[in-house]
Structure 1
Amino acid sequence: MGFEIKEAAIPFIFGFSSFIILIVLRSFIFRFLNKWAEKTKTKVDDIIILSLKKPSIFWCCAIAIHIGISTSKMSEKYSILANKIIEILIILSITIALANLLVKILRNYIEEEKLSLPTSGLFYAILKITVYIIGFLIILNLLNISITPIITALGVGGLAVALALQDTLSNLFAGIHILIEKTIKIGDIIKLEGGQEGIVEDITWRTTRLRTISNNLIVIPNNKLSQSVVINFSMPEKPMTISIPISISYSSSPSKVEEILMDELKKAKEEVEGIFKEKEPIVRFSPGFGESSLDFTAFVFVSEFSKQYFVQSELRKRIFERLKKEGIEIPFPQRVVHLRKEKDE
C-alpha cells in the first residue's frame, strides 16, 4: 500500500512542481514581451500577447501533466487517457487564442483602415462562435465521437428550442439582417418613429443601444428596430442641411435683407466651425408674407448632425447683430384690430 502511494505521489509532485515553475516562467516571459511591445509602434504585437496570455495557462497545465505521466508507471490504458486530456487542453487553448486573436486583429484593422464594415458586438460574437464550433468539432473527432447522432438530436430538439426562444431568435436574426443590410452602423445618428434619437453605440445579438445627446442609454430590441421607420442622419453622407427662419419688419426691403443675410452667411462659412465649406449657403424669401412680418429662411450645410446646434446658435447671434447694425427691425407678433361703433337707431 505504501509503495502504491509512493508511486502515485512522485508523478504528482513532479507534475505540480513543473506547473508552478512553468507559471513563474510564463510570468517572466510575458513581462518581458509587454515591455518589448511598449517600444513598438504597431498594436498587433500587443494584441497577440494579450490573446495568448490566458491560453498559455492551459499549455503550462498540459506540459505539467505530460511530465507527471513521464515519471509515472501507470498502465497503457490510463496513459492513453491522460494523453487525450493533454491533446484536448491544447486544442481548447488554441481555439480560445485563435478566436480572441482573430476578433482583436480584425477590429484593429477595421479601425485603422476606417473600413465601412459591420463592427458591432454581434458581428464579433458570430466570428468567435464559428471558431469555437470548429474547435469543438476537432475535439469530437479526436475522441472518435461521430457528430451525425449529435446533428440528428439537434434537429429533433431544434423545433422545441426555437419555439421556446422565439423572441430571442427573432432579435438575433433581426440583428444579423441589420448588419448585412448596412442601413444602420455603429456611430450613425438615427431617429425612430417613436421619437427616440441618438448615436448607435452597439448592435448586440439581442438589442441595439443608442446614446442620446443628454448621455442617456436607449436599449431597443433588434426586432422592434427592424420593423420601425428610421431616419438615419449619417446616410447617405454625413453633411446635412439646417434651416433658420428669420422674420423682419414689413418696412424693410426684401432684396436688401436677402443680400445682407447672404453676405453674413458667407462670412460665417469661413469662420464658424462645423459649417460644411464645400456647399454655399442659400437664402429664400419663404414662407414669405407672415401675419406681422416678412419671413425668410436661411439654409446652411453642416459637416455632421452633432454640429448643427452650435452652428445654429452662432448664426442666430451673427444675424441678430448684423440686422441690428443695419437698422432692420425684427418685429414682435402684432395684430391691427378695427373697432366699429354701430349707430343707435
Structure 2
Amino acid sequence: MTRPADIMSFTFASACLVCGVVLGILLRALFGRLAQRAASTTSQWDDLWWNMLRQIALPATAITGAWWATNILRLEEPVRGFVERVLLAAIVLTVSFTIAQFAANMVRSVALSRSGVARSASIFVLLTRGTIVGVGVMVLLQSIGISVAPLLTALGVGGLAVALALQETLRNLFAGIQILASKKVQPGDFVRLDTGEEGYVDDINWRNTTVRQLSGNIVIVPNAHLADTVMTNYHQPVEETSVTVKVGVSYDSDLDEVERITLEVARDVQRTVPGAVPDFEPLIRFNTFGELRIDFSVILRASEPSAQYLIVHEFIKRLHRRYREENIEIPYKPYESLPPAEEAKQERPELTAAR
C-alpha cells in the first residue's frame, strides 16, 4: 500500500478473516454431524454430498473472509494484484481438489456396490482424481497468466523419454485398465492362477493386482502378468460353482441302493449346509471299474467358491456315517508292512549296494 490503512479498516478486515475461519469451523462440524447421520441410511449419495460440503466448508469461508478483508483494506497495486492472484489460486485449487475427491469417492462407491470390496479398482479412483486435479492445475496456470500451450508442448517432447523410463510401469497401468474394461476379472471375484494360487481379487491398482487367499495371505500379481496368464474365474459367468466328490464302493454292493442312499445324503447336505444351493438336485454318475471298487462321482452345488470346503466336509462325514449304518463297504488297499530287514534296506539303499 502507498498509504497506511486506518485502524478501523484493519479491525474490520481482521474481523472478516476471523469470522470466515470461525464460520468454516462451525459449518465443518455441522456437516460432519450430518454426514454421520447420513451414514446410517442405505443410500451412499447423501454420504458423498455431506462429506464434500464438510471438506469445502472451511476453505470456502476462509477464502471469502480473505476476499472481504482485501476489499476493506483497499490495497493498491501491485499488492492488490498479487493478493487477488493468490486468492484465485486458492479458489481454483480448492474447487479442483473437492471435485476430485467427490468424483473419486463416487467411483469407489460404485465399485464397492458392484464388487463388495472396500479397496476395489483403485486404478480408476487414482485416474479420476489425477485427471481432475490436472485440469484444475492447467486452469490455475492459465488464470494467473501462465500460458499452458508451451507447457503441453514440453510435456509432449519429454513424454517419449518418460515413457521409455517408465515402460514397465506404463505396461502394468494399461494392462490394469484393460483387465477392468474387459470385465473378465473384477474386484471380489474368486480366481485361480496358473501357478496354483487362488483367492479373492482384493484390488486392482495402477501397478499390480492383489489376490487375498482364504488363509488371509496376499498374493501380489503384476497387471501385465495377470493379463497374459491362464486363469480360472469362478465368478464368471455365474458365482455358483459345482462341487465334485469322488466315492467308491465294493463290487458286492447293490448299486441302485448305493445311488439312493448317496442321493439322500447329498440332498440333505444341499438343504442344510450354509453355502450350499438348497434347490439344486445332486447328481451321481458311476464311471470306473477300479482295482478294488466301483468308482463314481457325486456332484453338489455351492453358492460361491469358498463354500465348497464346508460342503465337502459335511458330505464326507454324513456319507461315511450313513454307509456304516447301511453296511455299505468302502474298499481300501491295506498297508503292507515290511520285515525290519527289508525296511532297513529301503531306508538305506546305499548300504545294500555296498555289500
> TM class, shorter-chain normalised?
0.7 to 0.9
Tell me, yes or no, if the aligned pair for 1:201 and 1:210 is still in contact at 8 Å: yes
1:114–1:210: structure 2 CA closer, same or farther, 3 Å change rule? closer
Say what the alpha-carbon RMSD is for the aligned residues: 2.8
TM-score (norm 1): 0.86
Partner of 2:351: none
Partner of 1:231: 232
Tell me, yes or no, if the aligned pair for 1:175 and 1:204 is still in contact at 8 Å: yes
Paired with 2:9 and 2:65, the residues of 1 have a C-alpha distance of: 10
Gaps in structure 1 of 5+ consecutive residues: 337-345
Q: Secondary structure at the match of 1:89?
A: helix
Alignment partner of 1:299 is 2:292: no
Partner of 1:91: 92
Paired with 1:167 and 1:112, the residues of 2 have a C-alpha distance of: 31
Deviations 1:217-244 (A, max 9, x none): 1111111111211111111111111111
Alignment partner of 1:333 is 2:337: no
Paired with 1:266 and 1:326, the residues of 2 have a C-alpha distance of: 17
Alignment partner of 1:139 is 2:140: yes
Alignment partner of 1:55 is 2:56: yes
1:247–1:231: structure 2 CA closer, same or farther, 3 Å change rule? same
Tell me, yes or no, if the aligned pair for 1:258 and 1:285 is still in contact at 8 Å: no
1:191–1:52: structure 2 CA closer, same or farther, 3 Å change rule? same
Displacement of 1:272: 2.2
Tell me, yes or no, if the aligned pair for 1:292 and 1:335 is still in contact at 8 Å: no
Partner of 1:31: 29
Gaps in structure 2 of 5+ consecutive residues: 337-355
Partner of 1:159: 160
Partner of 1:248: 249
Written as runs of structure 1 = structure 2, the 5 A alignment for 1:68-107 is 68-107=69-108
Letter in 2 for 1:182: K
Tell me, yes or no, if the aligned pair for 1:192 and 1:230 is still in contact at 8 Å: yes
Q: Secondary structure at the match of 1:310?
A: helix
Q: Secondary structure at the match of 1:274?
A: coil
Letter in 2 for 1:32: L
Q: Secondary structure at the match of 1:275?
A: coil
1:8–1:213: structure 2 CA closer, same or farther, 3 Å change rule? farther
Deviations 1:153-186 (A, max 9, x none): 1111011111111111111111111111111101
Paired with 1:168 and 1:141, the residues of 2 have a C-alpha distance of: 31
Displacement of 1:52: 3.2
Tell me, yes or no, if the aligned pair for 2:269 and 2:315 is still in contact at 8 Å: yes
Paired with 1:10 and 1:221, the residues of 2 have a C-alpha distance of: 64
Paired with 2:33 and 2:57, the residues of 1 have a C-alpha distance of: 18
Tell me, yes or no, if the aligned pair for 2:35 and 2:51 is still in contact at 8 Å: no
Displacement of 1:112: 5.0
Written as runs of structure 1 = structure 2, the 5 A alignment for 1:205-220 is 205-220=206-221
Partner of 2:350: none
1:15–1:329: structure 2 CA closer, same or farther, 3 Å change rule? farther
Displacement of 1:327: 0.7
Q: Secondary structure at the match of 1:200?
A: strand
- The percent of aligned pairs where both chains have the same amino acid is 30
Paired with 2:9 and 2:333, the residues of 1 have a C-alpha distance of: 95
Paired with 1:313 and 1:289, the residues of 2 have a C-alpha distance of: 25
Tell me, yes or no, if the aligned pair for 1:188 and 1:199 is still in contact at 8 Å: yes
Q: Secondary structure at the match of 2:259?
A: helix
Q: Secondary structure at the match of 1:205?
A: coil
Deviations 1:127-177 (A, max 9, x none): 112211221222233123332211211111011111111111111111111
Written as runs of structure 1 = structure 2, the 5 A alignment for 1:1-40 is 7=5, 18-40=16-38
Displacement of 1:124: 1.4
Letter in 1 for 2:192: K
Paired with 2:318 and 2:7, the residues of 1 have a C-alpha distance of: 87
Paired with 2:239 and 2:150, the residues of 1 have a C-alpha distance of: 52
Partner of 1:341: none
Paired with 1:207 and 1:112, the residues of 2 have a C-alpha distance of: 22
Letter in 2 for 1:57: L
Q: Secondary structure at the match of 1:144?
A: coil
Paired with 1:300 and 1:212, the residues of 2 have a C-alpha distance of: 23
Which deviates the most, 144-153 or 123-132?
144-153
Paired with 1:94 and 1:166, the residues of 2 have a C-alpha distance of: 33
1:190–1:106: structure 2 CA closer, same or farther, 3 Å change rule? same
Paired with 1:58 and 1:97, the residues of 2 have a C-alpha distance of: 10
